[in-house]
Chain A
Amino acid sequence: MKNQIEIKFKSLPENEAFARTCVAAFCLQFNPTLDEIGDIKTAVSEAVTNCVVHAYPNKVGEIVMLLRREQDKLHIVIKDNGVGIADIEQAMSPFYTTKPEEERSGMGFTVMDSFMDSLIVKHNGNKGLIVEMSKRIENKQAV
């Protein structure tokens, strides 16, 4: 079975909770456990927060979130048109942050990586970032 939704929203802090609620609602069709929903909400929160904090530091920009179901697999794509990252590999390493003075821990990408099955980060053309994540959600239908 295939299903897909795409939402565009402004890079405002209050939309972090909105994005989490949205993905949790989309996930219900997988019949997930609370743990799985928790993991997925956390990963989405990380990617969206990064857009709010890093991609658009002094302005409000647009974030696109795409959620896709392919059988038992959930695909999530989160895109921005912000400042982008020069060295993606360095940015993804644990504890690396460009904002230590704002008490950032540099653990966002590490959280996404460990809570999801796969994580791919790439340039969005020459403007901004694309974060792709996926997770298999086993069907636990009652027998």
Chain B
Amino acid sequence: MQVKTKLHNQALYVLLIGELDESCAPFVRNNLDNLFENEKRFNKVIMDLSQLEFMDSTGIGVMLGRYKKLQHRNIPIYIINPSKQAEKIFQMSGLYDIMPKIS
């Protein structure tokens, strides 16, 4: 699992690459929290899930946790390019209600 980021026009782009399950959830969690903590110049997060090959309910928890932390700072999360498998999990769990998909 790899996490890549870039800042563009005050949007923080996060690219998740690989399989997000319980074995790498702590890594992804810490990585994103440190990033959100240290990078102050963004007003929204855009998660690119095009290369997220796998995610299960552990990933739902990881996403929800990051949403709650950013919600305190009034920073929304948006999803772009979800892989088919990520799309299914987002649809069925209702995650799209709180982090909408944009194109």
Segment of B37-45, B70-78, B87-95 engaged in the interface with chain A = B87-95
Contacts of B58 in A (CB 8 A): 49, 104
Interface residue A13 (Cβ < 8 Å from any Cβ of B):
yes
Closest approach, in angstroms, between the C-beta of B64 and any C-beta of chain A? 6
How large, as a class, is the contact surface on chain B?
20 to 34
Interface residue A103 (Cβ < 8 Å from any Cβ of B):
yes
Q: Contact between A46 and B23 (Cβ–Cβ < 8 Å)?
A: no
Q: A46–B58 Cα gap in the complex (Å)?
A: 8
Closest approach, in angstroms, between the C-beta of B27 and any C-beta of chain A? 11
Segment of A1-9, A34-42, A76-84, A85-93 engaged in the interface with chain B = A34-42
Contacts of B100 in A (CB 8 A): none
Closest approach, in angstroms, between the C-beta of B20 and any C-beta of chain A? 10
Q: Contact between B23 and A105 (Cβ–Cβ < 8 Å)?
A: no
Interface centre among B56, B60, B85 (most CB of A within 10 A): B56
Interface residue B4 (Cβ < 8 Å from any Cβ of A):
no
With A17-B23, A53-B22 already in contact, the answer to whether A104 and B92 are too (CB < 8 A) is no
Interface residue A134 (Cβ < 8 Å from any Cβ of B):
no
With A42-B85, A114-B92 already in contact, the answer to whether A105 and B60 are too (CB < 8 A) is yes
Tell me the interface secondary structure of chain B in the complex: helix
CB-based nearest B residue for A115: B88
Q: Contact between A103 and B61 (Cβ–Cβ < 8 Å)?
A: yes
CB-based nearest A residue for B58: A49
Q: Contact between A105 and B22 (Cβ–Cβ < 8 Å)?
A: no
Q: Contact between B22 and A16 (Cβ–Cβ < 8 Å)?
A: yes
Q: Contact between A49 and B21 (Cβ–Cβ < 8 Å)?
A: yes
Question: 14 other contacts beyond A16-B21, A17-B21, A103-B61, with CB at 8 A cut-off?
Answer: A13-B22, A14-B23, A16-B22, A38-B88, A46-B56, A46-B57, A49-B21, A49-B22, A49-B58, A107-B57, A108-B56, A110-B57, A111-B56, A111-B92
List residues of chain A with CB under 8 Å of any chain B CB.
13-14, 16-17, 20, 34-35, 38-39, 41-42, 45-46, 49, 52-53, 102-108, 110-111, 114-115
11 A/B residue pairs, CB under 8 Å, sorted by A: A16-B22, A17-B21, A20-B54, A42-B56, A103-B62, A108-B57, A110-B57, A110-B92, A111-B57, A114-B92, A115-B88
